[in-house]
């Protein structure tokens, strides 16, 4: 395809909000700058029509690094004996929210490993507490796979959103990343339960995880088209020194940006973060993500003492641009590229 044909097909993708597998595959792996820059510009244009130049922020509170699962890629997997484990209690979570609210955060994301300490009752108390204190804020949970009943109780207590990446939609690839105790079927089932219960649902996948091929990424996009999530989080796979994948190669920046732009064109309304992993892979990863069509950033609002312990991958960024207390720095960096951080719940625009 020549330049003109590429441009026409990208514009067609933006119009149809869909494309054939072969073209998606070509775009995912494309490294020609004249194609990728047109792709990112088109995605940024679609984003600006709906969201202007606003960037939504979420305060990420990493409530626990205990996990009963043993995903091969993840630094907080059960078998990692090198890690000091922690979870934070109700009062500490509320203190994080207090600090976050003062900084202008209107969404709090409680994320953690699958930790039995957080029973339904405990979580319901936490959610009710946050909602009572900050009724104008959204509460997002990202606590892995739970039962439908549990998701219902948490939603009834006031949880608004739930993030659960499907990680990979390909059965064979899923098996390369997870032990036999976990199943793709259950992961997907959880996502559909969450939707059915009225959560705004977020899903997504890692880019460049071991064994991944472009066909898997196309399957990921097709799965997302079925799910129609409100939020889509992707980020590069990054190795962690105390996991079986310690020697594996990290995900590719261009591929992450290409996929961010493709997601924006397939799902114009979606809330798409420029993730911490992207910011860890490249010092300007956040900005590059926004310029390719992302519209959310999730600075770290966890207590300082635990940030390094929530160690999903090597060298996780959490103290510079990534830190909630350095919001001014983030604001400046966003202004420099023509975007602005806003104080709002940051819901999907209709
Ligand atoms: N336990 C919850 C769950 O399973 O959804 C939330 C916590 S989990 C650690 C959050 C996300 O971190 C996962 O969905 C995964 O995509 C990402 N993650 C874990 N290890 C990673 C790695 N080595 N590189 C990049 N992302 C990773």
Confidence check: pLDDT of 175 > 90: yes
For the chain, count helices (H), then strands (E).
14, 9
Give percent above pLDDT 90 in the chain.
95
Tell me the binding residues for S-adenosyl-L-methionine. 167, 187, 238
What residue segments make up the domains of the chain, in order of their start? 39-340
Mean of pLDDT over the chain: 96
User: In the predicted model, what is the mean pLDDT of residues 169-189?
Assistant: 98
Report whether pLDDT(338) > 90.
Answer: yes
What pLDDT was estimated at residue 211? 98
What is the predicted pLDDT for the residue at 323? 86
At 322, phi and psi to the nearest 5? -80, -15
Q: What is the pLDDT of residues 188-221, one digit of tens each?
A: 999 999 999 999 999 999 999 999 999 999 999 9
Residue of 77, 87, 141, 165 to test ligand 1 pocket, by largest number of atoms within 8 Å of CB: 165
**308 vs 156, which has greater pLDDT?**
156
The pLDDT assigned to 191 comes to 98
Distance from residue 93's CA to the centre of ligand 1 (Å): 20
Q: How confident is the model at residue 306 (pLDDT cuts 50, 70, 90)?
A: very high
Q: Please, which residues bridge with residue 203 across strands?
A: 232
Supply angle C-alpha 322, 328, 334, rounded to 5.
75
Task: Specify the pLDDT at position 348.
Answer: 95
**The pLDDT value given to residue 316:** 86
Structure tokens at 19: 């494309």
Superfamily (CATH H level) for 39-340: Aldolase class I (3.20.20.70)
Cβ of 114 below 6 Å from ligand 1? yes
Cα 228 to Cα 17: distance, rounded to the nearest angstrom: 12
**Taking each helix axis from N to C terminus, what angle separates 214-227 and 21-29, rounded to the nearest 10 degrees?**
120
Tell me the CA–centroid distance for residue 311 and ligand 1, in Å.
10
pTM reported for the whole predicted model:
0.97
Q: What is the tens place of the pLDDT at every residue in 23-56?
A: 999 999 999 999 999 999 999 999 999 999 999 9
In whole angstroms, what is the distance from residue 119 CA to residue 3 CA? 55
In short, whether 316's Cβ falls inside 6 Å of ligand 1 is no
Cα 134 to averaged position of ligand 1 atoms, centre (Å): 28
pLDDT band, very low/low/confident/very high, at 156 (cuts 50, 70, 90): very high
For residue 318, pLDDT over 80 is answered with no
- 291, 260 Cβ separation under 8 angstroms: no
Q: Which of 71, 206, 234, 302 to mutate to test the pocket of ligand 1 (most atoms within 8 A of CB)?
A: 206
Ligand 1 centre and the CA of 312: distance in Å? 7
How far apart are the C-alpha atoms of 19 and 42, rounded to whole Å?
A: 15
Give percent of the chain with pLDDT exceeding 70.
100
User: What is the structure's pLDDT at 165?
Assistant: 98
Question: Does the CB atom of residue 279 touch ligand 1 within 6 A?
Answer: no
Concatenated DSSP letters of 184-253: HHHHHHHHHHHHHTT-EEEEEEEES-TT--HHHHHHHHHHHHHH--SEEEEEE----TTSTTTTSPPPPH
Q: Say which range, 49-53, 150-154, 244-248, 315-319, has the weakest mean pLDDT.
A: 315-319
Residue 322 has pLDDT above 80, yes or no: no
CA 209 to chain centre: 15
- pLDDT > 80? residue 134: yes
């Amino acid at each position: 395809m020549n330049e003109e044909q590429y441009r026409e097909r990208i514009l067609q993708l933006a119009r149809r909000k869909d494309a054939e597998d072969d073209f998606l595959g070509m775009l995912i792996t494309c490294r020609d700058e004249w194609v990728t820059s047109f792709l990112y510009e088109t995605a940024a244009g679609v984003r600006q029509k709906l969201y202007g130049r606003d960037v939504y922020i979420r305060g990420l509170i990493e409530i626990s690094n205990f996990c009963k699962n043993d995903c091969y890629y993840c630094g907080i997997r059960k078998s990692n004996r090198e890690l000091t484990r922690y979870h934070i209690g109700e009062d500490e979570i509320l203190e994080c929210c207090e600090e976050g609210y003062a900084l202008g955060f209107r969404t709090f994301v409680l994320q953690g490993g699958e930790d039995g300490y957080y029973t339904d009752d405990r979580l319901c108390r936490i959610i009710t507490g946050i909602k009572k204190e900050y009724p104008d804020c959204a509460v997002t949970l990202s606590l892995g796979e739970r039962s439908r009943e549990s998701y219902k109780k948490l939603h009834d207590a006031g949880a608004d959103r739930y993030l659960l990446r499907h990680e990979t939609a390909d059965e064979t690839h899923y098996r390369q990343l997870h032990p036999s105790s976990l199943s793709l079927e259950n992961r997907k089932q959880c996502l559909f339960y969450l939707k059915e219960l009225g959560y705004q649902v977020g899903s997504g996948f890692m880019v460049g995880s071991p064994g991944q091929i472009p066909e898997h990424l196309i399957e990921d996009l097709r799965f997302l088209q079925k799910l129609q999530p409100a939020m889509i989080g992707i980020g590069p796979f990054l190795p962690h020194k105390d996991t079986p994948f310690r020697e594996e190669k990290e995900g590719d920046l261009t591929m992450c940006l290409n996929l961010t732009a493709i997601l924006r064109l397939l799902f114009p309304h979606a809330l798409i973060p420029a993730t911490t992993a992207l910011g860890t892979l490249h010092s300007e990863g956040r900005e590059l993500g926004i310029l390719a069509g992302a519209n959310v950033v999730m600075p770290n609002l966890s207590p300082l003492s635990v940030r390094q312990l929530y160690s999903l991958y090597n060298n996780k960024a959490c103290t510079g641009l990534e830190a909630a207390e350095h919001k001014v720095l983030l604001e400046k960096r966003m202004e420099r590229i023509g975007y602005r951080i806003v104080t709002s719940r940051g819901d999907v625009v209709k």
